Amino acid sequence: MTLNKHLCQLCLCLFSMVISQIVIAAERPNVVIIFIDDMGYGDVGFNGATGPKTPNLDQMAVEGTKFNHFYVGCAVCSGSRTSLMTGCHYQRLSMKAVLFPNSNNGLHPDEVTIADMLHETGYNTACVGKWHLGHLPPCLPTYQGFDTYYGVPYSNDMWIDPANRLAKDIIIREDLTVEEVKAGHKQRNRVPLMRGEEVIEYPADQTTLTKRYTEESIRFITEHKDEPFFLYLPHTMVHLPLAVSKDFQNRTGKLIWDAIEEVDWSVGQILSTLKSLDLDKKTLVLFTSDNGAAVGSSLPLRAKKGSVYDGGIREPTVMWWPGTIPAGRVCNEVAGTIDMLPTLAGLCDGKLPENKIDGKNIKALLVGEEGASSPHPQYVLMHGPGTVRSGPWKFYPWKETNNGRNAIKDRVVSTDPVQLYHVVDDIGERKNVAADHPDVVEELQAAYDAHVAEIRSSQRPTQVMRRPASPVTSPGLPNRNTGKPPKEIDWSKVKIGDVYTSGNSPNVTNRAFSISAMVEGDELSGIVAAQGGEVVGYSLYIKGTECVFAVRLSNSEIHRVTAPIASGKSTIKAGIDAKGTLSLQINEKERASVSGGLIGRHPAESFCIGHDDKMLVDQEAATTSFVGKLIKLKVE
């Protein structure tokens, strides 16, 4: 009787745990982040714009919550995107404020992005638009947690890097030839359009970018409507050079307003799609901009893009999740893009990075909890000459100037050595009250100094990008971001040359796995199976008279176990056990083993059979495709 009682209690406990996990999975929202380029605080109707018409954004604000004091992590492109994607100040990760096609370093793939975090919890992930965190492997979106990428890899006023891989069927425009592109054609405002890791169009037709990004995004949402998904849509517009599709040409008399109205149309298309698929109450949508206006308006804020006055870093922002985020509400608490990773980790049952991040969970602000306040006593930015936002105060540890982007007409410049503004009462930052509040100045100066010292003492490295000596053309192997590979691999049908996307490959993250294969041949050589590259991954290959199972745990840490293999037919068993021990056995002979470790994150590169289509996991591996007959292969 007692035994039955205990068994019953155990069953109830297990049932409760299962139900709990089902509820968690069911409550996790889809996530869409719409990140506009160079749109200012005053470029949208819900913030008082009278030039461009933004009915979709205005309705989004009616149905969602407008954040009036929402900041980005930098007043220009790459630094701002770093902060959004990683929850870190870009200086902590040693990133430049702006990357260029001739930049050598990008975001380190060891850093955890929102896409990495959500991908690990089972989300399908796509980046559609401007990336600008590294345009070459291993810094492209497909190495940073995204299953697919489609877009322009940096700002649209830049140029092509001949190191980018050209697709076999690339579309060449403007009377150029492939030979001219390979020779290093360089012209400002002529940028590549990429899919996955290949250039599919050059120069990109910028008049169609907003429209094509929208269509690509809708296709992704529709294909994954029955599964959790994360769509990151960083628009190219409204960055210079401005361009719009035919439907939006000459609508307003100003090209910048035409471009803003097309972005508004795009937002409307995304929200309409979510509603038509009955996903609106299951999806969190964030709309904001990467920095202040370059061409448009940041009014009533002071200054524009490039400045750490509010006009450069305080953005038009709406969060929308019908039924969860209150409709028609305005949040006046300080928050920012840096908070999205930890907030989404909390909402989506994700795991926070082990390394330090700077963002905070702002769920309480999103859902409108009574009495919720900003988690940032001081929000400090080191960009440019630096600034601190604290409650109603905005502090600048430098003397006011009145030139360039910071200029205000008829301005009498303060002579005080620092600046302090009450940005609730003085939204335009016109009255420097530093002399009236020495205690506030002292407190915020100390906060700024402490922040700078802490960041400089704990900076993490960027990643050197791989730039081949000559232009690269796709060999025509299947690209892991094209087509629709099966959701599950049919191991009875796999063959040499097969490529499976990272999202559809075996999950090896922090877990034991095994590889079993049967090969045959007089002179066996080459890669049997591989996934990953110079960041993390594993590879099974034959070189000379040895079979090698190699596992890369990080850029600098790789482990190998080897065993002799002869010609003829051989059965290979390789794997990692739960303790991280690598093992390899040929034809039931003595098993070889070495200490290693579990792979801490899912490889971003595709799973390849009989070859490795991108960067090698192990630089000592044979670089050729498998020579011999692959009778069977399975990873489990």
**Active-site residue set:** 77, 132
Our separate counts of H helices and E strands in the chain read: 11, 30
Can you tell me the distance from the alpha carbon of 431 to that of 427, in angstroms, rounded to the nearest whole number? 10
Using CA atoms of 553, 551, 496, 473 in order, give the dihedral in degrees to the nearest 10: 50
| Cα–Cα distance, 379 to 377 (Å, whole number) | 7
Tokens found for residue 368: 């409108």
Instruction: Classify residue 405 by burial, with Cβ atoms within 10 Å: 0-12, 13-18, 19+.
Output: middle
Q: Is 129 helix (H, G, I), strand (E, B) or coil?
A: coil
CA dihedral 270, 275, 277, 278 (to 10 degrees): 140
- Residue owning tokens 């070889």: 592
CA distance 85 to 33: 10
Distance CA 217, CA 250 (A): 26
Question: Which two structure tokens, joined as six digits, stand for 493?
Answer: 């049908």
**Burial profile 97-106: b = 16 or more Cβ within 10 angstroms, e = fewer:** bbbebebebb
DSSP 8-state secondary structure symbol assigned to residue 320 = E
Helix, strand, coil fractions of the chain, as percent rounded to 5 = 25, 25, 50
CA distance 124 to 478: 20
In contact, 406 and 280? CB cutoff 8 Å: no
d(CA 286, CA 283): 10
Look at the block and give the residue holding tokens 């001949």: 162
Q: Are 416 and 367 in contact (CB under 8 A)?
A: no
Q: What does the DSSP assignment read for 586-599?
A: ETT-PPEEEE----
Q: What is the CA radius of gyration of the chain?
A: 26
DSSP 435: G
Query: In the structure encoding, which two tokens stand for residue 234, read together?
Result: 């960083």
CA–CA separation, 139 and 466 (whole Å): 9
Distance (Å, whole) CA 71 – CA 309: 11
For residues 84, 85, 91, 92, the Cα torsion angle rounded to the nearest 10 degrees is 120
What is the rounded CA–CA span in Å between residue 447 and residue 459?
A: 18
In sequence order, the 6+-apart residues with CB closer than 8 A to the CB of 438 are none
Q: Is 495 exposed, middle or buried (0-12, 13-18, 19+ CB in 10 A)?
A: exposed
- H/E element holding 19? helix 2-27
Query: From residue 322, how far is each of 65, 68, 180, 331 by CA, in Å?
Result: 10, 19, 51, 16
The helix or strand, by DSSP H or E, that contains position 563, with its residue range, turns out to be strand 558-564
d(CA 340, CA 83): 9
